[in-house]
Structure 1
């Protein structure tokens, strides 16, 4: 597995999931036009496709992605929503990322 390629795919998948979900959130919670929700739904569907580009199996990819999603969601909230993560958010994200890296990148005997 090429680690840089895998990380890039995780980041793209995260951007699709968070971005698509955010557009739907804006449509339903902030009274944005319907097309926000439609574009958000398309982007969310694209997330499902992007995740399949990983070389590991479904369960392992989605388990590792969970940790990466935590970090990306906090970064999105900080940069887009003005949310300031506290030290416990940062500690939790570091622990989640460590777990994600162990799940997806540790060598396994076959």
Structure 2
């Protein structure tokens, strides 16, 4: 499976997880209607299914996915919550992406 496909799958997976967690947050903290829990549950089910599509061992997928999740969450913070990340947020994202790359791209034999 190509690196770009895997990265794209990670990004879509992260968005599904974030939406699935963000909607209940809106219900609990921002007075959103209770019906937002239905698309939240669907989004979390999609998240789980997307994780199952990755071609490698599940533990490795979860570990590497974490780096992409951190990146997408920071973009969510900026784009949806309207909070501009700090320099150290970007440094942290860079570190997690390096870690993710090592986990996913290291030669195995």
TM-score (norm 1): 0.95
Moved over 2 A (4+): none
Where do residues 19-98 of structure 1 align in structure 2 (5 Å cutoff)?
A: 19-98=19-98
The alignment's C-alpha RMSD in Å is 0.9
- Is 1:102 the counterpart of 2:102? The answer is yes
Q: 1:18 & 1:105 partners in 2: Cα distance?
A: 25
CA distance in 2, matches of 1:25, 1:44: 14
Aligned residues: 109
Q: CA deviation at 1:22?
A: 0.9
Q: Which runs of 5+ in 1 are unaligned?
A: none
Mapping for residues 7-26 of structure 1, pairs under 5 Å: 7-26=7-26
**Aligned counterparts of 2:80 and 2:52: Cα–Cα separation in 1:** 27
Given the two structures, how large is their TM-score scaled by the length of structure 2? 0.96
1:74–1:85 contact (8 Å) kept in structure 2: yes
Q: Aligned partners of 1:88 and 1:39: how far apart in 2?
A: 33
Structure 2: runs of 5 or more not aligned: none
